Structure 1
Amino acid sequence: MTFGSGQVRPALTAYLSTTIAPWLRAEAPPAVRHRLLGSAARLAYTAGFLCFDGNEQGRAQAYYRGALRLGREAGDPGCYAPVLRAMSVQAHHLGHHGQAWELARAAAREAPRLPAVQAAFVTGQLAVAEAARGDRRAALAHLAGAERLLDRASGRGAPIGDYHRAAFHHQQSEALAALGDVTGAVSALLSSLRHRPAAEHRARAVTTARLAELQLDQGHLERACATWHELLDLAAPLESARVGDALRRLRGNRSARALLVRVAGPVP
């Protein structure tokens, strides 16, 4: 997923249908069955995310639902709570803020049973969902809670859906932007980029695109143009529909169009 969904998605979905699905239908001792359910849930979650990144929203939802069912059958909140969080992210991305909040609440209810890093992840998404509904107090309280949980984490990444300081600041930015604090959202994105591991090319591109959008919203055209150039450099090797969508949004931004018109005009 470092460079986007690309060709990874069809390979993984084929593996799930041709290998994992028959194994799930086979007889197995309870301990083996439990491990298989957990592994299958994680793979289905990954397939769902790859479809989400590829803008195949219906397929993403189907894989997420499959992962949720497998995780619940395994009785492992470490499998199904991150899936609920991912479904909340998808709903938020599509503008379904009520559904995003319900899914985020369902994930956050499992926080006491999760390792600190996973608990932080689901708590941060609840903050984003609450901000989108206009609940400033709850959003800021859960952001603070997510940060405290992350500080307590051992440093080990989540088994599915990695979470670290860069991811926290990205959630913080989304929440602040939804609450109307664009300046704070830009500051949080800059922090996210500073903490983002160098190997996470797709995530860095998505974050950079969001930063350019917010800078344009602020009217900081020169900064936005510099950020846009960074995005174009990052986007070249990627196969991610979400990054492609971000580039199209930037091209269609009113402030960006006005700048391009001025640049194309006669030189005084």
Structure 2
Amino acid sequence: MLSAAASLAYLAGWKAYDAGEHGLAQRYYLQAFSLARHSGNQADQAYVLRILAHHAMDNGRPEHVLGLADTALSLSRGVDPATQSLFVICRARALAESVRFAAARHEAERARDLAAHGEVGEMTGWASLWGAPSATVDSHTAKIYARVGDHPAAEAHHADARKRYGPTAHQRIAALSAAAEGHAQLQQGKIEAACMTWKKALDTMTGIRSSRTRKSVQSMRSDLDQFRSHGARPALEFDERARTWLREAV
């Protein structure tokens, strides 16, 4: 009963996060952790701590994320390799936020190896909800490379994540991966490629109502400001489509 209640609180937190209600999301996540702790399920406790770490990193609050990631990894001991990869890549990203880039890369490679040799069907508890662990590992590895300014590597990993998530089973995260991939392309001056990738992102976002996807499209338009002002045709054409998408997504 406690595990089921923890799972429901976690889901409520995720929905609040997707709606942009980050304070509410954190409160639900903390409630989920308390329930998981009382249930005695260490894997669920670890997973909530992992989510709290990622939530803090996504919101620019990296102060305690390495401690959260380390504790999550410790609590996850004994889970299958595929599930373990999610905790290892969380620690890798936390290390990058702590400016320990060499250690972050090493942990990211360890996570990739665990994901590659793990079986999705063996994944533990809530970890099984988010698709192939290799997609999650690629997504967070891309964020590590973006953090160090290696935009070609970030682009490659975001592209791999997008392909592995697929446009249907995990439509929202596939779309957000495409959005991040386009941003990495733009950082390299690849304007046409970025606009093409962002068009794919908009296609994948069809039917989704999410604060995160809306902010992502607004960010695309903002990133293209300087190119629109110089009359770059790909930027002008994409901006028109993005404005239409935002108008219809209200």
Scaled to the shorter chain, the TM-score interval is 0.7 to 0.9
For 1:152, the equivalent position in structure 2 comes to 117
Give the TM-score, by structure 2 length.
0.86
For 2:181, the equivalent position in structure 1 comes to 211
For 2:231, the equivalent position in structure 1 comes to 263
For 1:177, the equivalent position in structure 2 comes to 146
Does the CA contact (< 8 Å) of 2:13 and 2:24 recur in 1?
A: yes
For 1:84, the equivalent position in structure 2 comes to 49
- What are the Cα deviations for residues 215-252 of structure 1, in whole angstroms up to 9, with x where unaligned? 11111111111112112222231011111111111111
Does the CA contact (< 8 Å) of 2:135 and 2:160 recur in 1?
A: yes
Residue 263 of structure 1 and its aligned partner are, at CA, apart by 2.4
Cα distance in 2 between the residues matched to 1:84 and 1:237: 31
Q: Kindly report the root-mean-square deviation, in angstroms, between the aligned alpha carbons of the 2 structures.
A: 1.7
Determine which structure has greater relative contact order: mean sequence separation of CA pairs < 8 Å that are 6+ residues apart, divided by chain length: 1
Cα distance in 2 between the residues matched to 1:251 and 1:154: 40
Task: Kindly provide the amino acid, as one letter, of the partner of residue 257 in structure 1.
Answer: D
Give the TM-score, by structure 1 length.
0.80
Cα distance in 2 between the residues matched to 1:212 and 1:203: 14
Cα distance in 1 between the residues matched to 2:71 and 2:53: 10
Mapping of residues 75-154 of structure 1, within 5 Å: 75-154=40-119
Cα distance in 2 between the residues matched to 1:158 and 1:247: 34
Does the CA contact (< 8 Å) of 2:26 and 2:52 recur in 1?
A: yes
Task: Kindly provide the amino acid, as one letter, of the partner of residue 219 in structure 2.
Answer: R
Structure 1, unaligned stretches of length 5 or more? 1-35
Q: Residues 228 and 152 (structure 1 numbering): CA distance in 2 closer, same or farther, change over 3 Å?
A: closer
Residue 73 of structure 1 and its aligned partner are, at CA, apart by 0.8
Cα distance in 2 between the residues matched to 1:144 and 1:171: 12
Q: Percent identity?
A: 26
Does the CA contact (< 8 Å) of 2:83 and 2:133 recur in 1?
A: no
Cα distance in 2 between the residues matched to 1:212 and 1:151: 26
Aligned length: 228
Structure 2, unaligned stretches of length 5 or more? 234-250
For 1:164, the equivalent position in structure 2 comes to 133
Residue 158 of structure 1 and its aligned partner are, at CA, apart by 4.2
